[in-house]
Amino acid sequence: MPKSDAAPSDAAASEAPASEVPASEAAASEVPAKGRSTVRSLLRLWPYVRPVRTRLITAAVVAVIASCTGLLFPLVLKWMVDGPVADGDEAGVWLGALLLLLLGVTEALLFGLRRWLVARPLASVEAAMRADLFRHLQRLPVAFHDRWASGQLLSRGTTDLMLLRMFLAFPLTFLLVNGATIVVGVAILLGQDFMLGLVLLAPVAPMVIVCAYYEGRYSAVARRAQDQVGDLTTVVEESVLGIRIIKGFGRHRSQARAFRELSHTLRGTELAKARILAAIYAVIMSLPEAAIGAALVLGTVRVADGGLSAGTLVAFLSTALALRWPVESIGFLLAMTQESATATERYFEVMDAEPEGGAEAVGGARAAGVPGGGAEAVGGAEAAGVPGGGGTKASDGAAPSEAGGLRFHDVEFRYPDAPPDAPPVLSHVDLHIRPGETMALVGATGSGKTTLTALVPRLHEVSGGRITLDGEDITAMERERLRALVAVAFEEPTLFSATVGENVLMGAGDGAGEAELARALDVAQADFVHALPQGTDTQVGEQGLSLSGGQRQRLALARAVVGRPRFLVLDDPLSALDVHTEALVEAALRRVLADTTALVVAHRPSTVQLADRVALLSGGRVAAVGTHQELLRENAEYAWLMSGAETTETTDAAEEAAR
């Protein structure tokens, strides 16, 4: 599986955009430039081709028959020249013309049949490969997506699959068809005149040597070009998604410069491909033409000497000219084959990446027609038949279970591609959130808070220790069941190009409806949706950029609570809200937290007040656990963090009041 050169060095690194990975590193750094077998690469397409092999084989046979039909033209011409034309038989000439017309119509119909035979199955092959790629991307771990630029993945799902469909439709068939045509044509030439046939076969050895020499060079350049297309796609995607930042900071010139530089690089690579193809074409076209010229001279001399009939020479040269296209097409057919082999490698680089948990992995959206849906808010407890409200508060009089709730047992975590000598992001984390308890997680930037929350739904896998839910190790759970028990909302919410209702209900089971949606929106204080043009049926646009940051965050919170999950993990879910809205959300959220076991990353004292206890994370370790008041009195680092938060909060409140 491809790896980047560097691993994230702290907890915040997991939030870095994929585009920060160097251009084509993740995609191509481990692809061997030498010793690659084109045939072995293309054979990996067989599982997709096998279901439609009958139609493809039939199409190939039809194409061979059609191509060989074209080789009958010279034989008819020979008969006409040596027979009716030489004898002045007008009826014979018309008969020959009719035969030529029938052969032409037959050839055209056969080639039309071939195209009809391959059109539907190849579209199905491309669709199946694209669907498999999308499903596999949903199942791959977050660490994979952290390393890969999105443009590289997009180019594999679009440009590369288009190349493969074109290869199966044209080069794959016509390498066979043209090969068979050349063999039959050479047999006809040798049968007509053995000596002239040997003259035309003279360029074969040089052409094979040239094609073998340029094959490896073209393959390397083709791979570089396809990776650069992925880099260019990444820049375009980032520029579109980040248009507000680009305009806000006046960076359109620098973005245009970056795009121009990548375009210039890609142009240079494409020109390198063109130079290699030009060299191949120069040899493949000039040598056969020279051989045909030599055969023409030699044949004319023999006709003049009476050693060869004019009809045989006409038929011979017509056959030779009919073989020009099959021979000259070898160059671009081999080029397309090399590009297709590279596209196959790029496709299977992603498909070979190990998914999280194999068959257990859950990908795709829970809401019909909505892409994604795995990471940010993954199902409610009801989706797995688990009732909400998995515990009661300690104040209700029930003795909390020491084994129950959410527990971290000596947890350690380092990123999979981190250097061996790099310190772990999290080390010896022991933490117990009792059933029905809410624990706030506080710490300085880079202390590992976000990474710790990502371990609970297994967005990352622990490097050491274990995490249990009600005493059960999460690694022993199927991911679908785990993510039905645990709902997550991140600080930076992601919304999909769907309606408000579909985005929120992605966090619930299939049976959720308007009542659950209304309750979740009420908890998140997201009443603003009712003022949208179509209410909850309003399309929020790509990534929800048509909404403000606070609105997106409230919808993400609604998505997390809509399924009444037993365990709730919130990564600073109120950071984008003003103090008044935050107070309303917190008041509603208290009712939800009373019936769930929750881990809440908090930076503001007001958010900390939601929790029963607070854990201070410092340098990847749990430095202290206690109530908010206890830690204020006993821990200087915590008091310092909260004093800075209180100052910021007071300033925000004053600014809000001034407005």
DSSP state of 499: B
Measured distance CA(147)–CA(461) in Å, rounded? 16
For the chain, list the domains and their CATH numbers. Answer: 51-123+135-354 (1.20.1560.10), 381-658 (3.40.50.300)
Q: What is the sign of the dihedral through the CA atoms of 126, 132, 138 and 142?
A: negative
Max Cα-Cα span within the chain: 120
pLDDT value at residue 244 = 66
DSSP state of 577: S
Strand-pairing partners, residue 466, are: 409
| Residue keyed to tokens 């310190």 | 423
SS3 622: strand
**Element (DSSP H or E) covering residue 547:** none
Measured distance CA(400)–CA(406) in Å, rounded? 12
Measured distance CA(584)–CA(564) in Å, rounded? 19
| Residue keyed to tokens 């119509």 | 105
pLDDT value at residue 615 = 92
End-to-end CA distance of the chain: 53
| Residue keyed to tokens 């993990």 | 569
Measured distance CA(275)–CA(260) in Å, rounded? 22
Written in H, E and C, the secondary structure of 250-314 is CCHHHHHHHHHHHHHHHHHHHHHHHHHHHHHHHHHHHHHHHHHHHHHHHHHHHHHHCCCCHHHHH
Reported as half-sphere exposure (CB side, CA atoms, 13 A), residue 451 has a value of 33
pLDDT value at residue 347 = 92
| Burial environment of residue 45 by CB neighbours within 10 A (0 to 12, 13 to 18, 19 or more) | buried
> Per the structure block, which two tokens stand in for 168?
């199966």
One-letter amino acid for residue 319 of the chain? T
**At 615, phi and psi to the nearest 5?**
-115, 130
Segments in 71-149 forming alpha helices (H): 72-80, 86-87, 90-139, 142-147
Residues 6 or more apart whose Cβ sits within 8 Å of residue 412: 424, 426, 427, 428, 429, 462, 463, 464, 465
Residues 6 or more apart whose Cβ sits within 8 Å of residue 429: 408, 410, 411, 412, 452, 465, 617, 620, 621, 622
The answer to whether 540 and 500 are in contact (CB under 8 A) is yes
Measured distance CA(57)–CA(70) in Å, rounded? 20
Q: Please provide the DSSP assignment of 70-82 as one string.
A: HTHHHHHHHHHII
Torsion of CA 47, 48, 49, 53, to 10 degrees: 80
Residues in the chain where the model's pLDDT stays below 50: 1-35, 358-401, 647-659
Measured distance CA(116)–CA(63) in Å, rounded? 12
Torsion of CA 529, 535, 539, 542, to 10 degrees: 0
Measured distance CA(133)–CA(114) in Å, rounded? 29
pLDDT value at residue 431 = 92
Packing angle between helix 324-351 and helix 171-192, nearest 10 degrees?
A: 150
Nearest to 537 by CA among 495, 503, 494, 493: 503
DSSP tally for the chain: helices H, then strands E:
26, 10
Q: What is the sign of the dihedral through the CA atoms of 58, 63, 68 and 70?
A: positive
Alpha carbon distances (Å) from 66 to 11, 105, 114? 64, 10, 9
pLDDT value at residue 430 = 92
The answer to whether 235 and 259 are in contact (CB under 8 A) is yes
Segments in 399-459 forming alpha helices (H): 449-455
- Look at the chain and count its residues: 659
Strand-strand pairing, 621-626 and 438-443: unpaired
- pLDDT tens-digit series, residues 542-575: 666 667 777 888 888 888 888 888 898 888 777 6
The answer to whether 125 and 180 are in contact (CB under 8 A) is no
> Per the structure block, which two tokens stand in for 418?
């981190």
**Element (DSSP H or E) covering residue 239:** helix 204-241
| Burial environment of residue 88 by CB neighbours within 10 A (0 to 12, 13 to 18, 19 or more) | exposed
SS3 623: strand
The answer to whether 365 and 371 are in contact (CB under 8 A) is yes
Measured distance CA(342)–CA(31) in Å, rounded? 10
**At 470, phi and psi to the nearest 5?**
50, 40
